[in-house]
Structure 1
Amino acid sequence: MLRLRQLAPPPRRLLRHAGSAAASSIRTLHSTPPACRPAGLSGTPASASPWVGWPRVASLPYGLSAQARPLHTSPPSRAPLTPFMLADIGEGVTECEVIQWFVKEGDPVEEFGKICEVQSDKATVEITSRFEGTIRKLYYQVGDMAQVGKPLVDIEVASGGVAPVAAAAPEPSWTAAASSASASSAPSAPSATTNPDVLATPGVRRLAREMGIDLALVTPTGRGQRITKEDLHHYTGSGPSAASAAPSALSTPTPTPTTPMPGSAPVPEPTTVPDTTDVPLTAFQKAMFKSMTRSLQIPHFGYSDEINIDAVLAFRAEINRLLASARENHDPALATYADLKKITVMPIFLKAMSLALKPFPLLNAQLVTPAGGTGEADAAGASLRFRRAHHIGVAMDTPVGLIVPNVKHCEQKSLLEIALELERLKRLAKQGALSRSDLADGTITLSNIGAIGGTVLHPVLVESTLCIGALGQAQTLPRYHPIVPGKKELELRPTQVMQVSFNADHRVVDGATVARFVQLWKRYLEHPSLLSVTTV
């Protein structure tokens, strides 16, 4: 039997004029694969066709072809999935803890909409979406450590949006899968470590989870009935769990030695409970572990001196009197600082340091070495990066640990502007809400560890800086002073003094440079009137 002549598909106008039965047969023919066409239309004997019962088409309108076209029955393709990577949220941060999710799988998300909140060793950050679409997969649970540069969520980008080329999501490790499976398959009662009614920072909640402590059972001693890390350690030493885990010697009767009966099983030796507990490092401690290990490869040069701070304390008292008078009298000259109730000595120390840095720009520079190397072979490619801005870091003790935000552009700010910025950083540090910009790009550091205690200190350099200072505890000590300024006669009187300690990178900074810098800084502090006459 001859094959029908292959012709072009029928124009739409012929289909409109064809009868209903013919049009139906035409559609059937054009949507049938070649192997399933009715016999007599493709040259195949009727007996060879599995579709014997199909209706025959006696004739086709002019221009119609018996050549079949395949029928596509697959569902319409969905929008592409875009892995949303966790971006770098701070210098040296490689992982951070997921504190809470604002979305779940299947939820729509808008551009710049909140996805989750994460906490690193330096700050708590809210992650927002760069796309509009639908959340299809969450890669972490609350409490997991998310890796920087790895997928955080998968987003099905809305139609019309342009999805960037992103790396494929990595396969989860068996440890992550096991923890996810155990968390999803083992229902449990709500834990107090995630209960918002219990006041504790995210770092304390994570430590409680790692130690297996229910925060509802811990007695808070922090400000505002907040649970601190010390409360957790105190609980493990005297709480119910410790008491139940380690039987008391008073409540446990001493076994009496007995002679075993013939044929009886031997009496087992009493087991002892170990008096040590292994606790994994927190994310903050891991980051500090890595940072300090690298920092201690730098050869440190130390320098200490004593500063008479009587004049600084009098200068601060005068400024605080002016601030109080300005609030009472609505002085327009100080209207900008109406929210500044009083200042500490720290803004004075920072402004004096910025002025002292001007003749010694080396101490504000950064040593750049190939791949951060510290060996002799790295000296050939090393260079010094001088920085005009004075971004002075201030070490702060917070509930999650020591963090070092910095006051930007101290060389451009007045003393009161520095005081305002310090108050803002302190407030955010207590809330765990410092931003990445608050923590990045520090050029030199000053620690006020003496507020807790200690005199002569040994601060450790940060990799990106060449100098760090630490303030010791203020003390009232007897010191000799001239009876008449400029005369040799001396008298002994009580004096407020403070030990200050500096360390510098001895690879590029010599001792004489540090000594001259500290002496100039000391002069500004012992004669604070110079701060008001020196160019900002």
Structure 2
Amino acid sequence: MPTEPLRLYHSQQLLFFEPAQDDCAGFFSSQLQLPAIMFLQRGSRVLRTQWQTAKGMSQMAMTSRPPIASSRWFSESRRLMVIKPVLLADIGEGIVECEVIQWFVEPGARVEEFSPLCEVQSDKASVEITSRFSGVVKKLYYEAGEMAKVGKAFVDIDIEGDAKAEDIEPVAPEQPEKVAIPSTPIAASDSILEQKGNTISEEVTPTPQKEKGKCANLATPAVRHLSKELKIDIMDIDGTGRDGRVLKEDIYKFVKARDVADQQAPPSLASTFPQDPSIQTETVVPLSNTQLQMFKTMTRSLTIPHFLYADEVDFSNLVELRTRLNRVLSNSPVVDGRPSKLSYLPFVIKAVSLAIYQYPILNARVDVDTKTNKPCLVHRPQHNIGIAMDTPQGLMVPVIKNVGSLNIVSIAAELARLQGLAAQGKLSPADFTGGTITVTNIGSIGGTYVSPVIVEREVAILGIGRMRTVPAFDEADQVVKKQVCNFSWSADHRVIDGATMARAAEFIRTVVEEPDVMVMQLR
């Protein structure tokens, strides 16, 4: 056994052991006997004793310090930060508010990321808003039918998902107050007054309303559409669905009960007397959401000084070309997305795109330079042509993107797609964005001439009138039949002068009257 197997060190109330350098490995492997083990055990006890002493002294030092105020605000701020407000995103085209059509959630409901929260309706399309977080819904800022502001919070979500019932402030229905009849003499016999006294008073308690389910304000889009058609407030109906949801059968029962009550009701005094025909009765009807947004947009558009230019275009050659192409399409195999028939509008749209290459100012917009704070023109390379459409919801202007890279058949296919979505009310916000110039075909409904209004952030719009058959003279002075259509242009006279508009309109007239030119101009 080595003469100096271990050395004991003492430093700052801590003990540690270090083996000697002489044959340390051999000592631990073969020559460590019982006395040495006992020595190590005693050293370990000493070490634990020293550690406990040092720990006690540190605790005494901590207790001798002045008490520190509890950081109660820290825990409270953490609690507030788990509530995430979901902001209503900007859906483009300068829309600042949307109508909340229906909610898919309610306070206390669990939602996952990208799960639907509500459906909103702008002046152009209905959009389904999804959740950005997973958690528990804490608060709804708007009721169905109210206008929600873009960029503002419309729902709060607890991302930790520990929402409790007491954390949610339920909207309690107002309790009916007791109505007290003032103490006034009642017209009765004097004997009754003498028996009951000189006044009679009583309290009338209205019958409490039936409490609605927690999902009473939720319904499917079909049910809401039916309620709007019948002009019924969905909150007036007692739903028989799950958690008080209103079903179609509930609406029909409500209408039937209402009609029966109207038939049984006695005629009013006003109906017993004939109305004076000389008195004009006015009825106030609020604007629909689409009409309200159109009112705002057109009010801003009319701040643009309009310049009108009209011309007659001979469609005779275009009629023949369209007839031949439709014959080819009808004999070709059916391909998904390809129209089976062409209208005249795709040819006009392509002609406008060809004119933009020659006159790019038609595709520009007026803006203010942020550096100089002066008006400027912003030129845009893509030809995104908006098409004004008459839909069940009102006037819509979806956009055909990048017309310069499309042929006639592709333009017709995209036009048919947008028309189908517009008829169903399913156009998305992306279908309305990015327009650079607009074409409106009022002639499909009727009307020969039109004075169209320029769309905001554009400088020109083309109105197409009704095509009609007229007699005309050919080169041999013979009377022939021609198909004539009127083109009416409105331009921003701040940046487009009459000569520029006339040259651009003449170019389009040439292309439409000689549609074979489109073949040479295809890119």
How would you bin the TM-score normalised by the shorter chain?
0.5 to 0.7
Mean alpha-carbon deviation: is it higher for 514-523 or for 379-388?
Answer: 379-388
- 2: distance between equivalents of 1:273 and 1:506? 46
Residue 367 of structure 2 aligns with an amino acid whose one-letter code is V
Distance 1:273 1:82, change over 3 A: farther
- 1: distance between equivalents of 2:152 and 2:398? 26
Secondary structure of 2:358's aligned partner? coil
Matches within 5 A, 1:338-487: 339-369=338-368, 381-482=374-475
- 1: distance between equivalents of 2:469 and 2:498? 29
For residue 514 of structure 1, what is the aligned residue in structure 2? 501
How far does residue 253 in structure 1 lie from its aligned partner after superposition?
4.8
- 2: distance between equivalents of 1:406 and 1:64? 75
- 1: distance between equivalents of 2:295 and 2:149? 17
Secondary structure of 2:464's aligned partner? strand
Alignment partner of 1:285 out of 271, 282, 291: 291
- 1: distance between equivalents of 2:266 and 2:222? 28
- 2: distance between equivalents of 1:468 and 1:381? 25
Distance 1:357 1:196, change over 3 A: closer
Flag structure 2 segments of 5+ consecutive residues without an equivalent.
1-44, 49-55, 162-169, 176-208, 238-260
For residue 499 of structure 1, what is the aligned residue in structure 2? 486
Mean alpha-carbon deviation: is it higher for 509-518 or for 108-117?
Answer: 108-117
Residue 438 of structure 2 aligns with an amino acid whose one-letter code is T
The answer (yes or no) to whether the contact 1:246–1:273 under 8 Å persists in 2 is no
1:320 aligns with 2:313: no
How far does residue 121 in structure 1 lie from its aligned partner after superposition?
0.3
Residue 515 of structure 1 aligns with an amino acid whose one-letter code is A
- 1: distance between equivalents of 2:139 and 2:333? 54
The answer (yes or no) to whether the contact 2:338–2:410 under 8 Å persists in 1 is no
Aligned length: 399
Q: Of the two, which has the highest radius of gyration?
A: 2
For residue 532 of structure 1, what is the aligned residue in structure 2? 519
Secondary structure of 1:358's aligned partner? helix
- 2: distance between equivalents of 1:291 and 1:370? 23
Distance 1:496 1:181, change over 3 A: farther
For residue 101 of structure 1, what is the aligned residue in structure 2? 103
How far does residue 63 in structure 1 lie from its aligned partner after superposition?
7.9
Alignment partner of 2:272 out of 252, 262, 287: 252
Matches within 5 A, 1:183-198: none
The answer (yes or no) to whether the contact 1:193–1:209 under 8 Å persists in 2 is no
For residue 182 of structure 2, what is the aligned residue in structure 1? none
The answer (yes or no) to whether the contact 1:96–1:120 under 8 Å persists in 2 is yes
The answer (yes or no) to whether the contact 2:337–2:413 under 8 Å persists in 1 is no
Flag structure 1 segments of 5+ consecutive residues without an equivalent.
1-13, 18-60, 160-176, 215-239, 256-269, 329-334, 372-378, 483-488
The answer (yes or no) to whether the contact 1:143–1:206 under 8 Å persists in 2 is no
Q: Deviations over 1:434-480 (max 9, x none)?
A: 22221111110000111111111110011211100111111122222
Matches within 5 A, 1:13-24: none
For residue 262 of structure 1, what is the aligned residue in structure 2? none
Distance 1:317 1:213, change over 3 A: farther
- 1: distance between equivalents of 2:454 and 2:442? 15
Distance 1:525 1:247, change over 3 A: farther
Distance 1:520 1:209, change over 3 A: farther
Distance 1:95 1:64, change over 3 A: closer
Secondary structure of 1:473's aligned partner? coil
How far does residue 313 in structure 1 lie from its aligned partner after superposition?
2.1
Residue 82 of structure 1 aligns with an amino acid whose one-letter code is K
- 2: distance between equivalents of 1:287 and 1:417? 31
Secondary structure of 1:389's aligned partner? coil
How far does residue 199 in structure 1 lie from its aligned partner after superposition?
8.7
Distance 1:530 1:101, change over 3 A: same
Q: Deviations over 1:58-78 (max 9, x none)?
A: xxx998759598999999964
Q: Deviations over 1:135-175 (max 9, x none)?
A: 1111112222111111110011248xxxxxxxxxxxxxxxx
Mean alpha-carbon deviation: is it higher for 282-291 or for 443-452?
Answer: 282-291
- 2: distance between equivalents of 1:105 and 1:454? 53
For residue 139 of structure 1, what is the aligned residue in structure 2? 141
Distance 1:501 1:64, change over 3 A: closer
Q: Deviations over 1:220-261 (max 9, x none)?
A: xxxxxxxxxxxxxxxxxxxx99xx999799x62579xxxxxx
Q: Deviations over 1:14-40 (max 9, x none)?
A: 9xx9xxxxxxxxxxxxxxxxxxxxxxx
- 2: distance between equivalents of 1:125 and 1:503? 32
The answer (yes or no) to whether the contact 1:192–1:198 under 8 Å persists in 2 is no
How far does residue 431 in structure 1 lie from its aligned partner after superposition?
2.1
The answer (yes or no) to whether the contact 1:472–1:500 under 8 Å persists in 2 is yes
How far does residue 279 in structure 1 lie from its aligned partner after superposition?
2.2
Secondary structure of 1:327's aligned partner? coil
Percentage of pairs with the same residue: 40
Residue 304 of structure 2 aligns with an amino acid whose one-letter code is I
Question: Structure 2 length as normaliser, TM-score?
Answer: 0.66
